[in-house]
């Protein structure tokens, strides 16, 4: 009989829940989408509630509930870290022990309170953090066997592991332990460049192409030693996270010419060059490790997870170097949220012995990562009618796609809400804001009037899978926007770098068209591509095809449906609120089209800027 | 009231750290090299170490130490004794006592501003 397992991740950042039945992923979602608190670390009541509803199961019927890491080993690490700092470890121990000893150790109590049960096992099960990451990468992948690499800030002790998966078994072979962490190194530079840790790493990656890796040698001389096999060790004298509450310390600052950048202040060449330098270090480690993993496992396939696996530029380099050819798969929810999924899969296969499932056409089992809630048309129209929000209902798919595509072709920005919500940080055409990539002003408009975010940040394209090679140097599927590749040279345009070199003003580059799809072409001519498969998302695929019929262009700008600091929208209510608070012109809620100019004055008690803390 | 409890628990944590934990490792290498290396080793060929725990099966998924304060004390003592840290193992009872206090505080001060709507529409 198929076993149903609920996996839970919580109390670090990005709490989540996932439900697996007989090895098949039924549901998964991040708590932030329900609580509306970005990166919500609290016990994921909302996400659990959703997973149970989606699976149509009473909590008492769960065959197992599993937590994604081992709090006892985490406490061991916290104690030893603080003791290593001596008396200076006191402040850190004050903060850490509250969380570990007061909350995390007793997660079983939380589960029992929230569910009223611990399922049929009568107790909560536990995995290990990096095994959960490894499982989240291997089991949904299309591979029967694969090398596994996990890289993050830290789990209990491990920060990096190399393993091997075959059929339903996973084994970790090598590890690196705290305090030596590529994730924490990247976070240290994220902090130093004035971005928020655990959410700003993506911005640092996006900033890197504006700079030169001028600090690479200094970083390798003073901060980190990288061996030929990709293993590394930090010089902790330069980092603040061991004995303080800050990622970096005065010695780090002295290396790079002064204090960390103040958040929200002007970004200078120093930050651009630091971003470029740490990105180069990261890519070097990832590439060396990928080669080592291949040698050690003998596998031609690679799967990746852990927060560092969201570094899609580094992932793209693995493809470019052809270490594994096209055979790479990355868990879309590669961070801690995916740990809930990995834990559930570990228990399914390693505890209950469920056989591995395989897609009949050799694809993955992540279901497009559309694993969250959907909303019926009745729910949506009831919501709209109750508030008297005017809408046009267009039941015919073709007509609806045509209406949306025409709006996009006219330069309108569209909030696109359809089907099940994505699991993971990327919007994939279920909770997306869409735009016309051909217009050079789209990037500025979307950054400043829609997302309210830093204007240097690039946008990402969606393209039908079979047409990706017409636009990008990409000959592998990239359904989850986890690979960066170059825009085809014949589409690119020369850029005048002089104004940027003279002034350091990034807008001097941003405002110059870099290709015939300028809104999705980053300053180094790269793009973070989503290849859309008709099987995964037929409606979004149809929209792309319809847009092409009208404009001749197969690409759309696809950014997440939220403003800066807000989680991606989950419900039609969230979507309407975001629509009315921004410059989005048209909102599509399944079959319902809402035009901005026809909407009533939006009565919103909270001010967006007060409600959402800047990320 | 919450502030009073917070101050008491801060005192309890500080006491545990200063009066129990720190003295338990007095005389050990101040740089913490006994716990983990802090700097690169130019002579090393690789920093990778073989995983002791390669995978989980059966009973590996069960953590008795998270079931009660008493079991936490046993689990910590066993862990640290197994690692050769006898001094730390002696602090396990105090750790369990602290856990009891901190858990009671956490239960009281749990943030209640979570959205009540969860998955429902409105």
Q: State the alpha helices, DSSP H only, in A193-311.
A: 201-207, 216-218, 250-255, 269-297
Percentage of chain A lying above the pLDDT 70 cut:
98
For residues B118 and A121, which has the higher predicted lDDT (pLDDT)?
A: A121
Mean pLDDT computed over A356-375 = 97
Calpha distance A114→A104 (Å, rounded): 15
Selected residue of B66, B93, B96 to mutate for chain A interface (largest A Cβ count, 10 A): B66
Q: Any chain B CB within 8 A of the CB of A572?
A: yes
Q: Which residues pair with A523 in a beta bridge?
A: none
Percentage of chain A lying above the pLDDT 90 cut:
88
Calpha distance A427→B58 (Å, rounded): 37
Q: State the alpha helices, DSSP H only, in A519-588.
A: 538-551, 572-581
Residues 253-312 of A with CB under 8 A from B: none
Using 50, 70 and 90 to split pLDDT, how confident is the model at A615?
Answer: confident
CA-to-CA separations, A500 to A194, A206, A508, A526, A548, in angstroms, rounded: 21, 16, 6, 18, 34
Q: Any chain B CB within 8 A of the CB of A353?
A: no
∠A199-A186-A278 over CA atoms, to 5°?
130
pLDDT above 50 (res B115): no
Residues 181-200 of A with CB under 8 A from B: none
Contacts of A130 in chain B (CB under 8 A): none
| Least CB–CB distance from A79: residue in B21, B47, B66 | B21
∠A333-A448-A247 over CA atoms, to 5°?
50
Residues A105/B99, Cβ–Cβ less than 8 Å: yes
> What's the first-to-final CA gap in chain B, in angstroms?
35
pLDDT above 60 (res A337): yes
Interface A:B, Cβ pairs < 8 A: 205
- Write the pLDDT tens digit of every residue in A244-270: 888 999 999 999 999 999 999 999 999
Mean pLDDT computed over A185-210 = 94
Calpha distance A464→A476 (Å, rounded): 12
- Peptide bond preceding A179 in cis form (omega within 30 of 0): yes
pLDDT above 80 (res A610): no
pLDDT above 60 (res A137): yes
- Write the pLDDT tens digit of every residue in B16-47: 999 999 999 876 554 445 799 999 999 999 99
Using 50, 70 and 90 to split pLDDT, how confident is the model at A339?
Answer: very high
> CA of A209 to nearest chain B CA: how many angstroms apart?
29
Calpha distance B33→A235 (Å, rounded): 13
The H or E element spanning position A531 is strand A526-532
∠A569-A575-A577 over CA atoms, to 5°?
115
B26 burial level (CB within 10 Å; 0-12, 13-18, 19+): exposed
| Residue A281 token pair | 């270090």
Secondary structure of residue A400 in the 3-state scheme: helix
Secondary structure of residue A222 in the 3-state scheme: helix
**Chain centroid to CA A554:** 24
> CA of B121 to nearest chain A CA: how many angstroms apart?
7
Residues A450/A582, Cβ–Cβ less than 8 Å: yes
Q: At what angle do helices B69-82 and B92-108 cross, to 10 degrees?
A: 140
Look at B67 and A108 and tell me if their CB atoms are within 8 Å: yes
Quick one: closest CA in B to A387, which residue? B122
* Residue B108: per-residue pLDDT: 74
* Residue B121: per-residue pLDDT: 30
Structural Rg of chain B based on CA atoms = 20
pLDDT above 50 (res B119): no
Phi and psi torsions of A547, nearest 5°:
-60, -40
Three-state helix/strand/coil letters over A451-488:
HCCCCCCCCEEEEEHHHHHHHECCCCCCCCCCEEEEEC
Residues A529/A555, Cβ–Cβ less than 8 Å: no
| Contacts (Cβ under 8 Å, ≥6 apart) of A552 | none
Calpha distance A433→A297 (Å, rounded): 41
Residues A125/B62, Cβ–Cβ less than 8 Å: yes
Look at A233 and B40 and tell me if their CB atoms are within 8 Å: yes
Mean pLDDT computed over A458-481 = 95
Structural Rg of chain A based on CA atoms = 23
Quick one: closest CA in A to B97, which residue? A101
Look at B61 and A106 and tell me if their CB atoms are within 8 Å: no
* Residue B33: per-residue pLDDT: 57
| Least CB–CB distance from B36: residue in A71, A179, A224 | A179
**Chain centroid to CA A315:** 13
Mean pLDDT computed over A574-588 = 96
Quick one: closest CA in B to A288, which residue? B46
Mean pLDDT computed over A456-478 = 94
Of A527, A585, A564, A565, nearest in space to A448 by CA: A564
Look at B102 and A98 and tell me if their CB atoms are within 8 Å: yes
| Residue A431 token pair | 């909770």
Contacts of B65 in chain A (CB under 8 A): 72, 105
DSSP assigned state of B28:
S
Calpha distance A335→A333 (Å, rounded): 6
pLDDT above 50 (res B118): no
> CA of B47 to nearest chain A CA: how many angstroms apart?
5
> CA of A62 to nearest chain B CA: how many angstroms apart?
16
CA-to-CA separations, B26 to A51, B34, B89, B92, in angstroms, rounded: 49, 12, 14, 16
* Residue A417: per-residue pLDDT: 98
| Contacts (Cβ under 8 Å, ≥6 apart) of A443 | A455, A458, A459, A510, A518, A519
Calpha distance A192→A270 (Å, rounded): 11
DSSP assigned state of A88:
G
Look at A382 and B121 and tell me if their CB atoms are within 8 Å: yes
Contacts of A124 in chain B (CB under 8 A): 66
Residues A30/A423, Cβ–Cβ less than 8 Å: yes
| Residue A41 token pair | 């670390």
> CA of B4 to nearest chain A CA: how many angstroms apart?
15
- Write the pLDDT tens digit of every residue in A58-113: 999 999 999 999 999 999 999 999 999 989 999 999 989 998 999 999 999 999 99
Look at A83 and B114 and tell me if their CB atoms are within 8 Å: no
- Write the pLDDT tens digit of every residue in A391-408: 999 999 999 999 999 999
| Residue A22 token pair | 């007989």
Contacts of B117 in chain A (CB under 8 A): 34
* Residue B112: per-residue pLDDT: 40
* Residue B107: per-residue pLDDT: 77
* Residue A501: per-residue pLDDT: 85
Mean pLDDT computed over A175-179 = 98
Mean pLDDT computed over A1-27 = 96
Quick one: closest CA in B to A36, which residue? B115
Look at A72 and B17 and tell me if their CB atoms are within 8 Å: no
Of B51, B54, B41, nearest in space to A180 by CA: B41
Look at A83 and B65 and tell me if their CB atoms are within 8 Å: no
Using the structure block, give the residue that is written with the tokens 């932030």: A32
- Write the pLDDT tens digit of every residue in A515-561: 999 999 999 999 999 999 999 999 999 999 999 999 999 999 999 99
- Write the pLDDT tens digit of every residue in A255-312: 999 999 999 999 999 999 999 999 999 999 999 999 999 999 999 999 999 999 999 9
DSSP assigned state of A229:
T
Contacts of A177 in chain B (CB under 8 A): 36, 49
Residues 106-135 of A with CB under 8 A from B: 106-108, 123-128, 131
Look at B51 and A102 and tell me if their CB atoms are within 8 Å: no
| Contacts (Cβ under 8 Å, ≥6 apart) of B113 | none
Calpha distance A415→A587 (Å, rounded): 5
Look at B119 and A53 and tell me if their CB atoms are within 8 Å: yes
| Predicted TM-score (pTM) above 0.90 | yes
Q: Which residues pair with A188 in a beta bridge?
A: none
Selected residue of B43, B44, B51, B58 to mutate for chain A interface (largest A Cβ count, 10 A): B51
Of A131, A159, A163, nearest in space to A294 by CA: A163
Contacts of A97 in chain B (CB under 8 A): 13, 16-17, 98, 102
Residues A78/A104, Cβ–Cβ less than 8 Å: no
B58-88 burial: b if 16+ Cβ within 10 Å, else e = eebbbbebbbebeebbebbbebbeeeebeeb
| Residue A526 token pair | 């790269």
The rounded mean pLDDT for chain A is 95
Selected residue of A37, A74, A97, A159 to mutate for chain B interface (largest B Cβ count, 10 A): A97
> What's the first-to-final CA gap in chain A, in angstroms?
45
Residues A437/A517, Cβ–Cβ less than 8 Å: yes
């Amino acid at each position: 009989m198929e076993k149903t397992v609920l996996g839970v991740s919580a109390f670090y950042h990005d709490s989540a829940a996932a439900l697996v039945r007989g090895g098949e992923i039924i549901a998964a979602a991040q708590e932030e989408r329900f609580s509306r608190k970005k990166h919500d670390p609290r016990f994921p009541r909302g996400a659990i509630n959703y997973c149970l509803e989606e699976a149509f199961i009473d909590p008492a019927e769960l065959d197992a509930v599993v937590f994604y890491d081992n709090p006892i080993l985490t406490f061991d690490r916290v104690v030893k870290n603080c003791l290593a700092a001596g008396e200076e470890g006191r402040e850190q121990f004050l903060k850490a022990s509250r969380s570990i000893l007061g909350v995390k150790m007793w997660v079983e109590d939380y589960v029992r309170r929230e569910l009223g049960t611990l399922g049929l096992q009568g107790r909560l099960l536990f995995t290990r953090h990096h095994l959960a990451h490894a499982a989240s990468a291997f089991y949904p992948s299309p591979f029967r066997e694969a090398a596994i690499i996990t890289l993050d800030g830290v789990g209990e002790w491990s920060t990096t592991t190399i393993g091997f998966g075959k059929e339903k078994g996973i084994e970790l072979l090598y590890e690196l332990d705290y305090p030596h962490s590529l994730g924490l190194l990247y976070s240290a530079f994220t902090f130093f460049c004035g971005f928020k840790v655990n959410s700003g790493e993506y911005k640092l990656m996006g900033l890197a192409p504006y700079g030169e890796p001028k600090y690479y040698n200094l970083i390798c001389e003073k901060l980190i030693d990288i061996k030929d096999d990709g293993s590394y060790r930090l010089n902790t004298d330069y980092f603040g996270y061991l004995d303080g509450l800050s990622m970096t310390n005065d010695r780090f600052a002295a290396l790079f010419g002064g204090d960390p950048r103040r958040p929200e202040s002007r970004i200078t060449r120093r930050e651009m060059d630091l971003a470029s330098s740490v990105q180069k270090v990261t890519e070097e480690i990832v590439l060396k490790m990928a080669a080592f993993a291949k040698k050690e496992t003998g596998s031609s396939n690679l799967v990746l997870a852990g927060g560092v696996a969201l570094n899609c530029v580094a992932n793209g380099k693995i493809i470019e170097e052809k270490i594994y050819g096209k055979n790479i798969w990355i868990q879309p929810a590669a961070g801690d949220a995916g740990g809930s999924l990995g834990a559930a899969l570990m228990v399914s296969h390693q505890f209950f012995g469920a056989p591995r499932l395989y897609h009949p056409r050799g694809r993955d089992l992540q279901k497009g990562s559309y694993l969250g809630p959907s909303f019926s048309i009745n729910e949506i129209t009831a919501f709209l009618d109750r508030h008297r929000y005017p809408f046009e209902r267009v039941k015919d798919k073709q007509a609806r796609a045509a209406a949306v595509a025409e709006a996009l072709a006219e330069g309108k920005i569209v909030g696109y809400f359809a089907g099940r919500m994505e699991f993971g940080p990327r919007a994939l055409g279920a909770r997306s804001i869409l735009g016309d990539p051909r217009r050079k002003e789209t990037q500025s408009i979307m950054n400043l009037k829609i997302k309210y975010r830093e204007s240097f940040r690039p946008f990402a394209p969606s393209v039908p899978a079979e047409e990706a090679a017409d636009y990008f140097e990409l000959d592998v599927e990239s359904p989850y926007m986890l690979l960066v590749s170059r825009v085809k040279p014949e589409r690119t345009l020369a850029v005048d770098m002089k104004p940027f070199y003279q002034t350091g003003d990034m807008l001097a580059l941003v405002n110059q068209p870099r290709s015939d799809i300028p809104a999705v072409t980053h300053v180094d001519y790269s793009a973070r591509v989503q290849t859309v498969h008709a099987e995964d998302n037929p409606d979004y695929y149809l929209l792309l095809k319809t847009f092409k019929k009208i404009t001749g262009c197969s690409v759309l700008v696809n950014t997440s449906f939220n403003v800066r600091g807000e989680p991606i929208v989950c419900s039609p209510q969230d979507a309407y609120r975001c629509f009315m608070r921004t410059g989005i012109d048209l909102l599509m809620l399944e079959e319902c089209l809402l035009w901005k100019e026809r909407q009533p004055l939006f009565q919103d008690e909270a001010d967006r800027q007060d409600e959402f803390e800047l990320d | 009231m919450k502030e009073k409890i917070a101050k008491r628990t801060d005192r309890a944590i500080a006491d545990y750290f200063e009066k129990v934990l720190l003295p338990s490792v007095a005389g050990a290498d101040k740089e913490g090299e006994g716990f983990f290396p802090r700097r690169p080793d130019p002579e090393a060929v690789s920093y990778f170490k073989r995983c002791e725990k390669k995978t989980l099966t059966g009973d590996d998924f069960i953590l008795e130490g998270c079931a009660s304060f008493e079991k936490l004390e046993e689990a910590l003592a066993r862990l640290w004794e197994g690692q050769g840290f006898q001094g730390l193992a002696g602090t396990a009872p105090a750790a369990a006592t602290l856990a009891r206090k901190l858990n009671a505080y956490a239960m009281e001060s749990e943030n209640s501003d979570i959205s009540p709507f969860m998955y429902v529409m409105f």
